[in-house]
Structures are given as C-alpha cells and as structure tokens.
Amino acid sequence: MTISMYQASVPVFLKTLANLAEILDKGAAFAAARKIDPAVLLGYRLAPDMLNLTRQVQIASDHAKRCAARLAGVEPPVFEDNEASFADLKARIAKTVAYIDTLAPAQIDGSETRAIIFKAGGIEQSLTGQTYLLHNALPNFFFHTTTAYAILRHCGVDIGKKDFLGQI
C-alpha cells in the first residue's frame, strides 16, 4: 500500500495546527489565571539565540502553508507577521488551516518527483516534492511547533505529550 503526498502532508499539518491552537488556549488561560502579562509568554524564548513563542508559531504556520502550496504547484499566501496576542496567533493558525483546506488532494498527489524550488537562507534550493516534504518541510514544521510547546511547558503551562499529539 502506498501513501499519497496529500495524506503525508495536509492531515499532518491540520492536526498539529489544531493541537497547537489548543496549547495556545492553555497558555492564554495560564497567563490569565496567574495575572501574567501575555506578552511575557509570547516573547519568551528557550535560549538567547532562539526565536520567541510568537515567531515559533508564525514560522510553523508558514511551513505548513508554504509546503502545501508548493506541493500543489501554487503560490502560497503571505501573512504579515504582526500577531501580538494569543488570539492573534490562533487567528493566524485558523487562516493557515482555511488556506490549506482549499487545496485538493489531486493538486498535491503526484508531486513526489516534481521539482520544488524555494529560497532558504537566501540560497535557492531545488528538491523533489518527496524530499522537500520529508527532509525539509515536515522537520521544520515539527521543530517550530515543538519549540512553541516547549516554551509554554517551560513557563509552567500544564501541558504534556497528549496535548502535543492530540487524539489519535
């Protein structure tokens, strides 16, 4: 049995983004219950040279929408990076999900060998669709969603592995 490029990408992005939105809800509730300015959590980073929570969520969103669009052979939408609250980040996730939902399986399936050309760090890359998905897009997406989770967990938000993975 084979797995399609659509099945290996879109449902993974949608499920993980939904879980991330719920984790953000828990972060917002934590801040409210403890009377912590939400900006403190949104600006928190695990190490001085790492990006903060807000940027982790923005970049996770970008990887999901860009990957789905590139595999579909269409130009991904550009979102402004102007989120300043938990609600704003959840709205960004919702926009990402709404966009990804517009892409049909037929647009993505068959992209395994299609050349995916993109810039990373100012350098143009060209990978096959399968290599791009499995060795670039998914690892980057999971790095940023995991880091967002880890920031909130480190700050004391009561979340665990089940929150990150969600229901299976």
Query: 71-109: per-residue pLDDT in tens?
Result: 999 999 999 999 999 999 999 999 999 999 999 999 999
Q: Supply the mean pLDDT for the chain.
A: 97
CATH of the domain at 47: 1.20.120.450
Residue 84 exposure: Cα atoms within 13 Å on the Cβ side: 1
Please, are residues 129 and 71 in contact by the beta-carbon 8 Å criterion? yes
- Which pLDDT band holds residue 1 (cuts at 50, 70, 90)? low
Range of the domain at 90: 5-165
Q: How far apart are the first and last CA of the chain?
A: 21
Question: What is the number of domains present in the chain?
Answer: 1
